[in-house]
Structure 1
Amino acid sequence: MARCNAKLEAGRGLVERFRGLIEEARVLGVGTGSTVRAALRVLRDEGLLEGRILVASSVDTALELAGMGYRPVMPSVVSGVDFYFDGADEVDPGGNLLKGRGAAMLGEKILASMARVRVYVVTEEKLVDRLGSRRPLPVEAVPWAAEYVRRRLEGMGYRAEYRRCQGKDGPVVTDWGGVVIDVHTGPMEDPRAVEAEVSSIPGVVATGLFIGLTDYVVVAGPGCGYRVLDFTGRRPR
């Protein structure tokens, strides 16, 4: 079997299956991460970024778009997002997501919540039976409360540790000034309950759990092909 670049295949699937919605979109929201960057190259080559308002979910994405010659805007200058695409670190059978490897979950969650249509592009290994099976849950906390939040998380029975920087001393600080705490939950039986429990801690800004924020997932494998998972029937009314 021929091998392809799975991330580019996911981008190709995004364009092939959702071209009409992308062409109709006046405001296009752009997530963060390597699969998103690959999809952006496909969209650019197809001319699908031209003439649209591009809203970036992070400084990294804003810089990527600027390097491609576009002028991205902040979410605060638009009233809504017509079409949003992003990657994910884990996807469960119900379409719930675990995100935040790039520490951009707050901006990503804001755009996903603003969007009329949300599509995620992933590679096959991101599909899991339960969220938390392979990756810890990222939690963003305000710096003043970071240690309080970490201790509260450990009091809930989780192992919680600050994510450390590689380019500077100290913990990872997000685009919004928060501190990232990686929470080792193990496989979650009820991610909605975990989201509610963790988000209730004073000082928590955002978690990497995306519950009810998925419409479609484009899944690409190591071969030259992709499939699309449809979760629109699960979208809250």
Structure 2
Amino acid sequence: MTAVNVITHRERVTVCTDTACYDGGGYVQGFTSKAIALPHWPGVIALRGPLYVLAQLAVEAGLRFADVDAFAEGAPDFLADFLEQQDHLLGQHGEIAGIQVTVAGLSRARNACRAFVVQAGEKWDVPGAQWMQGDAVDLPVGEILDLPLDVLSMSPPVPDADVRRAGIDPDADLSSLGMAGEQKLLSRIMGAQRQMRLPLNAGLEPIRAVGGQPVYVTVFRDGTITTSAGTRWPDRTGNLIGP
């Protein structure tokens, strides 16, 4: 269960994901990026769901849409068609035919950065997102959920008690955080997500499913995109993700 966390400001938006890939039993198969930058938008696409379709998704979205605003307008139909094309691949791997796509970058229509999430395909049983200062938010299939400014969006949601246990003030003013402060906050939230046990599929025992290390992709309003990585956790290929 990939973690995708987002902080959006008018001047920049940062998407943070983990890097662990695992099989149906939760055993780590390796580590890779779960977000792909599209500098010509400029923007970034991150995926929760079967990760092997991410690269194809990014290529097709980049070819079809001129920027993040165009993607937001056409995403529901585009993603429905994309999943239909990928159905054979999903079936071969026994995956749930559903993906949760997070897109962030420059909105030329708003002259500011924006981020949004859309659930495509089969509906998941877990809430799609949660604001750090609020309740979990459901994601109806095929509807765009715009993420608010100066608020941390967490997927999967983290209970308030776990947020506080991680040393985070859920009422903190995120508008005043610099880049270093944001990355520290995102790393702590991902550490809390790492401790959660979640079912990968219906009927399976919940397991820890966030691992590898946090990776940050930031898109600035001037079109600059930066990437960096946080501290690695002690996860190993062939093992379950540990505490």
* Greater strand fraction, Structure 1 or Structure 2: 2
Higher-Rg member (1/2): 1
TM-score (norm 1): 0.30
| TM-score of the pair, normalised by structure 2 | 0.30
